[in-house]
Amino acid sequence: MKKLSITTTFELEVNEICELFLMNNKNCIKIIEILISLRYKNPISYNKIGYIVVKNAFVKLFPIHKNNRKNTSYFKISKRQIKYNKDNCELIIKPISLLKLNTYGLENYFE
């Protein structure tokens, strides 16, 4: 049986942000960076969501040994895992070429 990775639209958003980071040559990410991006795009839904919720979703999407450690602030993302997540996702996903930095307020972040 296929192992599902992305099951909710929230996880879809997290995966998308990680993909944007990876496209801009960053393979490490802080949870707070994801949280800020999420709140920028959709403050109405995600204003009350906290650190732990995002972290749990992130660890589910990227089950890498480094991410399960207790005292880590930088979490690892990988191209292979993102591809796996998207392949096993049953939701309809927007294609990569339509991803934009300014939807998450990240256009000045990578300068």
Partner 1 sequence: MEDKTQTDFFEDSLKKFSDFIKISFKDLIRLTHNEKKVFLDLYYNRVTELNKMQSILKNIRNRGDNILILGHAGTGKSSFMYKVFFEIGNLPDYNLYPLIVDFRDGNKFHLYKHFIEKMEKYFSDINCPIPKLITNNETNFKENISLLRTHLANIDEKCFTKHLIILLDDFDYLDEDDLFDVLEDFQGFGIHRHATLVLSARPALYTAIKEYDNRLIKTFTREIHKIKLVRLDINKLISRRLAGIIIENKSKSWFKKITHKESDYIRLLKKMGISEINDIENITIPFTGLYLNFISNITNHNNREIFDIVHDSLIYVRKNFEILESISEKNEDGETHSRKNITKEQTLELFYDNDDSLFRIININKNINKKGNSLLFNLLEGVKLYKELNRTFTEQMNFLGHKEKEIIWGIKKLKLNNLISPTKIVPNRYEERIDLYPEFSITDKGDYYLTNICYWEEYINRCGHFGVSIHNNLIV
User: Which residues lie near partner 1 (CB under 8 A)?
Assistant: 9, 12-13, 39-45, 47, 91-98, 100, 102-103, 105
Candidates 84, 93, 85, 78; CA nearest to 57 is 85
Minimum Å distance from CB 103 to partner 1? 6
- The whole-angstrom separation of Cα 99 and Cα 62 is 20
Residue 7 CB, nearest approach to partner 1 (Å): 11
C-alpha count within 13 angstroms, C-beta hemisphere, residue 109: 21
Q: What token pair was written down for 65?
A: 């040994």
Nearest CB to partner 1, comparing residues 42 and 67: 42
The residue among 76 and 89 lying less far from partner 1, judged by its C-beta, is 89
CA distance 90 to 5: 9
What's at 62, amino acid-wise?
F
Q: How far is the CB of 82 from partner 1 (least distance, A)?
A: 14
Nearer to partner 1, 22 or 67 (CB): 22
